[in-house]
Amino acid sequence: MGVRWGQLVEGPRDGATAITVTHLQMTQAPDQAASAAPNGVYLREVTGTNKAISRQLYLDIGAAWGWVDRQDWSLEQWTAWTDRPQHHLLVALDGNDVIGYAELDQCAGGSVELAFFGLYPMYHGRGIGRWLLEQAIALAWSLPGTQACVVHTCDLDATAALGNYLARGFALTHREIEWRLTATDSVQP
């Protein structure tokens, strides 16, 4: 197992590691249709009170990639995030097994953020990430008033993440540095 990442901190500072965050944007819907679903895989949009699955997927899938910004959110914070008409949750399934997800957030000004996107590691390398991303992009552009779709990735994400975003039509807008402590260096309350 690799480094366990802890909290975000102001940096630079002793013990903190610089992580490059890449911001991408798409300003028009892709011309090509989404690819066919991989064999046996299908998509379900989750609505209503079932959105609590968002928290579990964030914790499960995000752990491998150092997602920490919402790790300590209370159930009330998760409910406030998911129980909004601007929140859209897509879950990819293989049979009855959840294998990945995408969360979209409709922002002011016509921007739709692909806030979270990921697969369980055993499903990497099978074309599912490409297909799921295409489905999330299609949903983003189907929402009323969409003028742009944005996503952020970083050094900690899967090595194929940035290439997948670029191949689907996102363009790099800028990069910035955020600072992280490892889990063992994180400040305890």
What's the whole-number mean pLDDT along residues 83-96? 94
Q: What is the pLDDT of residue 149?
A: 98
Q: Where are the domains of the chain?
A: 5-182
Confidence of residue 55 (pLDDT cuts 50, 70, 90): very high
Crossing angle for the helix pair 75-82 and 53-62, nearest 10 degrees?
A: 110
The model carries a pTM of 0.90
Confidence of residue 171 (pLDDT cuts 50, 70, 90): very high
Average pLDDT, the chain: 89
Q: Which of 144, 64, 152 is nearest to 103 (CA)?
A: 152
Weakest-pLDDT range from 15-29, 43-57, 106-120, 159-173: 43-57
What's the whole-number mean pLDDT along residues 5-25? 86
Q: Is residue 85 a contact partner of residue 129, using CB atoms and an 8 Å limit? A: no
For the chain, percent of residues with pLDDT exceeding 90 = 59
pLDDT at 186 over 50: no
CATH class of 5-182: alpha beta
Tokens 């807008």, residue located? 173
Q: Which of 57, 61, 150, 139 is nearest to 112 (CA)?
A: 150
Q: What is the pLDDT of residue 13?
A: 85
pLDDT at 68 over 90: no
How many CA atoms lie within 13 Å of 64's alpha carbon, on the beta-carbon side?
Answer: 13
